[in-house]
Structure 1
Amino acid sequence: MKEELSILVQAQYPLIYLVTAEEERAESAIAKIAQQQTQHQRVFIWTVTRGFQEYGKAPQTTQHNTVSPEAAIEWVVRQPEAGIFIFKDLHPFISSPAVTRWLRDAIASFKGTEKLILLMSPSLEIPLELEKDIVVLDFPLPDLQDLDEVLRGQLNQTQVKRISLEAREKLLKATLGLTKDEAQKVYRKAYVKAGQLTEQEVEIVLSEKKQLIRRNGILEFIEEDETLAAVGGLEELKHWLTQRSDAFTEKAREYGLPQPKGMLILGVPGCGKSLIAKTTSRLWGLPLLRLDMGRVYDGSMVGRSEANLRNALKTAESISPAILFIDELDKAFAGGAGSGDSDGGTSSRIFGSFLTWMQEKTSPVFVMATANRVERLPGEFLRKGRFDEIFFVDLPTADERQAIFQIHLSKRRSDIGRFDVAQLAKVSDGFSGAEIEQAIIAAMYEAFAQDREFTQLDIIAAIKSTLPLSRTMMEQVTALRDWARQRARTASASVAEYQRLEF
């Protein structure tokens, strides 16, 4: 980004929008770029509270008659010398007709003057009139080298004499995705809490990342204690995930393996799709972030929804490697390619932005998506190369239903020898994993109301009184199976082996 900004300055681009919340660090980078030009350029900084002030000079250089945005831009136009003029947080005013017009007039007057207006803000707001004239850059978060400087400064302040290389590496990687200020605060917090800075304090640092995600508002940090053992059946899918448990390590890169992109899990509702996503986080040792598409859409302002998605994806990339979980993708992007008439094109733009990001992302963010209604998914999602694999999770087989009964009964009672899981599996034919769990819970409520222990017969009675989804939505389940038979990989080992023999 710094190299790109330097090139734009040399090429005399008149208007640049720098998206960042790190004002001090960005100002320092811009000042260095200005000093590296053939003719050293002066740097001026504008705020709505103080007007213009020259960077690095005493407050007496403040131009007090430039507090209003219109007056500030007019002052820039009248300056005879070249310079970089930074406007902080102009986004609340930029859509004003007067400010927009002044910016366009300034751009026209800058030709051959080596003057540049740079808008700096954490929020991207661009009026339609300026779209053709503005260049947008994202100021990157600190890399390991920047964070190492912060850590060294903190170690000097706290007079910690030694820290192992392993502890240093873990602390630095744990703070990737934080700003320099956030990193300084979390290092201080770890020192105050533990009185030292070692690899044991990584958990304190990671807790700050969770706060970062909570502040984002669109992503949700999911903590899951369950392991893959909590998932009954789906051995083919489990095997695929286990093979890739070290896929994001340096060892995998040295071997020549590319980073996994993602996977789509299709299937009947209640068959463990979401649970697989959550337990994968534990298996791979990666943070799990759930993207809530309902929070992405914001009709309060044109462009706000797209900005929400960009910010969410940027946050996910900043704390990568991570798993980005999108539950019920079919609802989130249903008709995304052709639903522009009802919402002014917002859905189409969101859909296009997400597809582009999936195709071009280089950061280790693994997209794990689930869907129930494949006919609602835009065809672009199902194109080869978008996901590493598409798995189909069908209703559990008899053996898988036995495993599911054993898992749920074991969670509730230490001794399950009195239950005949083979019989329970037989009478629950056509039930999903979620429906099996609810049958057990219904049996427990029945027995609890009668002040006794629940039995095999209670569970059988609960099963027989339930009409499973596979019967109430038989046509939908049949259509999904027919589609998946030729287009997706089955998640159950027994079915997968049968299909291999069939071909």
Structure 2
Amino acid sequence: MTNYAESRRDLDSYLNARVPVIGLRTIEQQRAMRLVREVAAQPRRSAMPFWIYTRATGLRDLRTNATMQDDRSLTGAMEFAAAQFTSRPQATLVLVDPDDLDLDTQFTRHVAELARLADAGGGSVVLITDKPIWSGLQRLGMSIRLDLPDVDEMHATVASFLDDHEGVVPIKWDEQDRRRAAEFLHGVSEAEAINLIATIVSKGSVEKEDVLTVARQKDRIFNDLAGLERVTLSEEDYRVGGLANLRAWLARKHEMMHADLRGTGLRPPRGVLLVGVPGCGKSLSAKAVASEWGLPLYRLDMASIHGKYLGESEGRMREALETADRVAPCVLWIDEIEKGLAGRDDINGVGQRIIGQFLFWLQESRSRAFVVATANEVASLPPELLRKGRFDELFFVDLPDEEDRKEIIELYYRRYVKNEPDPEQVARLVDLSEGFAGADIEAALHEVGAEVLLSGGAESLRPSFVEDTFANTSPLSRTNPERIEEIRSWGRERAVPAGRAPGRPGTGGAAPRTRRVVFMGD
């Protein structure tokens, strides 16, 4: 049963029981008003008076929409209802979004007195609001929460709208496409969903590829998201070089992200935790996934979650995760997650509560928000974060081996130097870049690109300058080898290698290299 059907059933029961105050909590006024009209229109209630008050229309008959009085003020509507409650039994007054219902004020006490008058004659006062109701008023009755449409209701909305336009514009969506669109639209209001579908229909046709357009258009609804930062992807293609294991795994998860999981007992993919050496492309992987999957990318800034007041951090975390559920399907990027979850042993217990809140969401949420979390300080990760069933998988991204360094050098050389690299020089640069992370290679070739720009073109670039630039670059693996070796030892033992299997041909018997780098290609 959909939430709408449950809310309608509850409202019907409360009106039958003549509950004096019925609070209907929702952010969708029009949908709530339609629900009330459906309940009031039942034949057995034909003799019962129903009035509705809104700021725009004043007091009207709920069924006929006839104006009840010229005075459009809320006070006038309540005075009219008070007089009617004493003379007409089983009458119902619906107040839409009145102010300050959450406070103990003269107004809320006036509503409470009105409800007592209604109760004496078997009547009810229905309050449609998106805010909590003052406890002294709410204790006089019952409450209903009308949530945003679930997938089944959204599917019915999408199907109804498209059926209305069948024959007007070509519609190539089949039942599976409609179901996927409904899943993408989960988290928006009915009116917002209709606006999105209408935008697609208005271009003159509904094509197969427009299903993904729904996800992209949905992203435009949300602005100034609490705790989330919208990451704009450039038009350049984000490509993943190497990382064969991770790429194959992500391809399978991509299929699951769009699969119809009804009746399977399965949940959408939860996400991946990438640990490894700094500068080796973990963060760029989040951008690559979002770009390849055609989904919006949001960054959860863990530093902004922490507040100085009691309960503030937990509230911000809860709000951010609820927002992630609403904007799904999306890729949720959490960079350096170990820093955001630090302080788990603090005396106030804030860090531990945030960890628990996040882990509960990871395990229980059924939204299609795919998490890509990265970590450098692997020893700081709380053990409970690594337990199977939290993230779908834990991958280790190591320093690039010779094959990966060659591929990265060629790509960044083309990007910054705007020329094809000489194979012999590439081979020398591969040797010079032993121990480099992908970021080190990019930084060196960026400097080369700057020299090309200043010297007037690639023709004047001296090969020795390129090699000197690499030779003078000091990667983290040289400046802090103990830290890098600690990270690599941890990753080899406790995580799935993101790259090719160790000991493959071409390693020259060197220490196992399980890694690759993500980079932007032309």
Offset at 1:180?
4.1
Matched, 1:316 2:320: no
Per the alignment, residue 393 of structure 2 pairs with 389
1:101-140 correspondence to structure 2 within 5 Å: 115=124, 117-121=126-130, 136-140=145-149
Change (3 A) 1:207 1:89: same
Change (3 A) 1:254 1:411: farther
Change (3 A) 1:126 1:251: closer
Please point out which of 161, 165, 170 is paired with 1:150. Answer: 161
Cα distance in 1, alignment partners of residues 106 and 77 from structure 2: 7
Offset at 1:389?
0.6
Offset at 1:272?
0.7
Please point out which of 243, 253, 269 is paired with 2:278. Answer: 269
Per the alignment, residue 220 of structure 1 pairs with 230
Change (3 A) 1:4 1:492: same
Please point out which of 444, 449, 452 is paired with 2:454. Answer: 449
Offset at 1:309?
2.1
Change (3 A) 1:406 1:500: closer
Cα distance in 2, alignment partners of residues 456 and 339 from structure 1: 58
Please point out which of 344, 363, 375 is paired with 2:367. Answer: 363
Single out whichever of 63-72 and 213-222 deviates more from structure 2: 63-72
Change (3 A) 1:388 1:111: farther
* Matching residue's letter, 1:315: R
Cα distance in 2, alignment partners of residues 36 and 131 from structure 1: 26
* Matching residue's letter, 1:357: W
Per the alignment, residue 517 of structure 2 pairs with none
Offset at 1:102?
6.7
Q: Determine helix, strand or coil for the equivalent of 2:487.
A: helix
* Residues 218 and 327, structure 2, Cα contact 8 Å, conserved in 1: no
Q: Determine helix, strand or coil for the equivalent of 2:67.
A: helix
Change (3 A) 1:145 1:457: same
Cα distance in 2, alignment partners of residues 352 and 88 from structure 1: 38
* Residues 235 and 493, structure 1, Cα contact 8 Å, conserved in 2: yes
Single out whichever of 372-381 and 388-397 deviates more from structure 2: 372-381
Per the alignment, residue 431 of structure 2 pairs with 426
Please point out which of 1, 4, 12 is paired with 1:2. Answer: 4
Offset at 1:69?
12
1:279-290 correspondence to structure 2 within 5 Å: 279-290=288-299
Offset at 1:488?
2.0
How many residues in Structure 1 have an aligned counterpart in Structure 2? 486
Cα distance in 2, alignment partners of residues 83 and 328 from structure 1: 59
Offset at 1:361?
2.0
Please point out which of 279, 287, 294 is paired with 1:278. Answer: 287
Change (3 A) 1:39 1:126: closer
Offset at 1:176?
2.7
Please point out which of 454, 459, 468 is paired with 2:466. Answer: 459
Offset at 1:496?
8.7
Per the alignment, residue 480 of structure 1 pairs with 487
Q: Identity over the aligned pairs, expressed in percent? A: 27
Offset at 1:81?
5.1
Per the alignment, residue 242 of structure 1 pairs with 251
Cα distance in 2, alignment partners of residues 199 and 359 from structure 1: 32
Cα distance in 1, alignment partners of residues 300 and 36 from structure 2: 34
Alpha-carbon deviations, 1:143-193, whole Å to 9, x = none? 12112222333x27xx7165345499469828734544344444554455x
Single out whichever of 459-468 and 491-500 deviates more from structure 2: 491-500
Please point out which of 397, 403, 413 is paired with 1:399. Answer: 403
Cα distance in 2, alignment partners of residues 35 and 432 from structure 1: 69
Cα distance in 2, alignment partners of residues 350 and 131 from structure 1: 31
Q: Determine helix, strand or coil for the equivalent of 1:271.
A: coil
Cα distance in 1, alignment partners of residues 233 and 319 from structure 2: 23
Offset at 1:233?
3.0
* Matching residue's letter, 1:330: E
* Residues 328 and 372, structure 1, Cα contact 8 Å, conserved in 2: yes
Please point out which of 309, 320, 326 is paired with 2:334. Answer: 326
Identify the structure with the greater helix proportion. Answer: 1
Determine which structure has more spread, i.e. the larger CA radius of gyration: 2
* Matching residue's letter, 1:209: K
Structure 2, unaligned runs of 5 or more: 505-510, 515-522
Offset at 1:455?
4.4
Q: Determine helix, strand or coil for the equivalent of 1:441.
A: helix
* Residues 262 and 389, structure 1, Cα contact 8 Å, conserved in 2: yes
Q: Determine helix, strand or coil for the equivalent of 1:431.
A: coil
Matched, 1:231 2:240: yes
Matched, 1:163 2:171: yes
Please point out which of 181, 187, 191 is paired with 1:181. Answer: 191
Change (3 A) 1:447 1:108: same
Offset at 1:94?
1.9
Offset at 1:387?
0.8
* Residues 309 and 350, structure 1, Cα contact 8 Å, conserved in 2: no
* Residues 148 and 172, structure 1, Cα contact 8 Å, conserved in 2: no
Cα distance in 2, alignment partners of residues 107 and 355 from structure 1: 44
* Matching residue's letter, 2:220: Q
Per the alignment, residue 519 of structure 2 pairs with none
Matched, 1:32 2:43: no
Q: Determine helix, strand or coil for the equivalent of 1:144.
A: helix
* Residues 267 and 393, structure 1, Cα contact 8 Å, conserved in 2: yes
